[in-house]
Structure 1
Amino acid sequence: MKYSYKEMPEQMKGTFGDFSRNFGFSWKEFVVTVPSPLFLVTTYKANGQPNACMQSWATFTSADHGNGFYAILASVNKNGHLYTSISETKEAVINFMSAEYHAACMSTIKNNQYEEDEITASGLTVEKASWVNAPLVQECFMNLECKLKWEKEIVPGDDHAMLCLEVIGLHIDENHLPDRTGESGILYNIHYQVNPENVGKTAHDYAGVLQKKIDVMEY
């Protein structure tokens, strides 16, 4: 038996899944609960200071017959430093952190004053990128240097935009070359799961890693 949902179930009214629309989330996100990779995007602000912004709601894909590799950031706030700096410089670095550095990367959310170096203020180390004008985070085990390809609104007039970044080059820590998806690898942003038929307490998000691999396809 499958349950079907088009409108928000009555049981979810009054929960975080309901009023989270004030933060730009749909109740459907908490029912579907599809994980998305979690990473830190870094740029330079117009004053030369490093900017750092936690992001998720993204996917990565190839195009142009395999000649290009792209990151699609599906929801970037137009009112934030990240959108402004990418619009100005057209360049950024996507930094993947392990669980060890999750708390430090998350602290960039509060260390976001325009005048400060948001990376250093969060206890992380700034490194110069090799191919783009953007800082990268030393402690993050994988850094993707990117150039802005295009931007688009999912809904016309929305306050969030979808950005396509072309990955120009990348760096991977030697200890992560054998595996980037294990317990010390890529983190995923997971919405708090809601059972719409038996709603208990609800919350926002948590970070998780992949626990098991199945049916590996070999060619």
Structure 2
Amino acid sequence: MSVKKIYLIRHGQTDFNVAGIVQGSGVDSDLNEAGHRQAARFFAAYRHLPFDKVYTSTLKRTQQSVQGFLDLGLPHEQHSGLNEISWGVREGLRITPEEDAEYNGVLQQWQRGETHARLLGGESPDEVAARQRPFIELLRNRPEEENVLVCMHGRAMRVILCQLLNYPLSCMDAFEHRNLCLYKIHFTGSQFSVSSFLDVTHLAECP
């Protein structure tokens, strides 16, 4: 089997990102003007690649981030396994570790390895990992798709990178992300590896 190349990106910027408001899987927001510029920059940088398939979550901000590729007629599949983690009752609110003791406490539990913890009404990293596994098996079992573009969300991206690279979920914060950042992953048929980590060179002229 030839090496499969997976281009894993986070969606472009939304107004919720700018305001520091938690989106999660329950907030189906649109890209803002800057987000559309980021998507256009990524498309300009990578449109030449022969992608066999484009995968997105079921949330429209991911599809909007790869719309240029979809307009080329590339095959596209949506997978709920790629959706962002659910933050439960906190979705749509501005919460930060500094301002919200419960939120900060859950983040600290995750870092301690207590990845079963969740906010009220939300998902745990363990639950996110479980719904991602069918998608990971899909990546493993479609050798005909040699170049794949995957667009998803920040926290969910951290979870899937831990799974692909065999890290415990407690290490997920080591995988930093920005809007429309790129992780380039290689799959040899038996193992995944990172060849490009948090690449944002394509955004050089974006705010």
TM-score by length of 2: 0.27
Structure with more of its chain in strand, by fraction? 1
**Higher normalized contact order (CA 8 Å, seq sep 6+, divided by chain length):** 2
Instruction: Give the greater-gyration-radius structure (CA).
Output: 1
Q: Which structure shows the higher helix fraction?
A: 2
